A and B are shown apart, each in its own frame.
Chain A
Amino acid sequence: MPPASPVESLADESALLARLKAGDPGAYEQVVREMGGRMLAVARRILVDENESQDAVQDAFVSAFRNIAKFEGNSQIATWLHRITVNACLMRLRKKRRQDEVSLDALLPSFGADGHPAHAASPWRQSPTGDELAETRESIRAAIAKLPEHYRIVLVLRDIEALDTAQTAALLETTEAAVKIRLHRARQALRELLDSTFRDSSN
Chain B
Amino acid sequence: MSETRNAADPRAQIPVTVLTGYLGAGKTTLLNRILTENHGRKFAVVINEFGELGVDNDLVVDADEEVFEMNNGCICCTVRGDLIRIIGGLMKRRGRFDGIIVETTGLADPAPVAQTFFADEDVRRATKLDAIVTVVDAKHLPARLADSPEAEEQIAFADIVVLNKMDLVTPEEAAEVERRIRAINPWAEIRRATRADVPIESVIGRDAFSLERILEREPEFLAGENEHEHDSDVVSLSFEVERPIDPERFNAWITQLLATRGQDLLRTKGILHYQGEDRRFAFQAVHMLADGDFVGPWREGEPRRSRIVFIGRDLNRPVLRRGFEACQVDDPQAAGNEVARRGPDRA
**A and B associate in one complex:** no
Residues of A within 8 A of B (CB): none
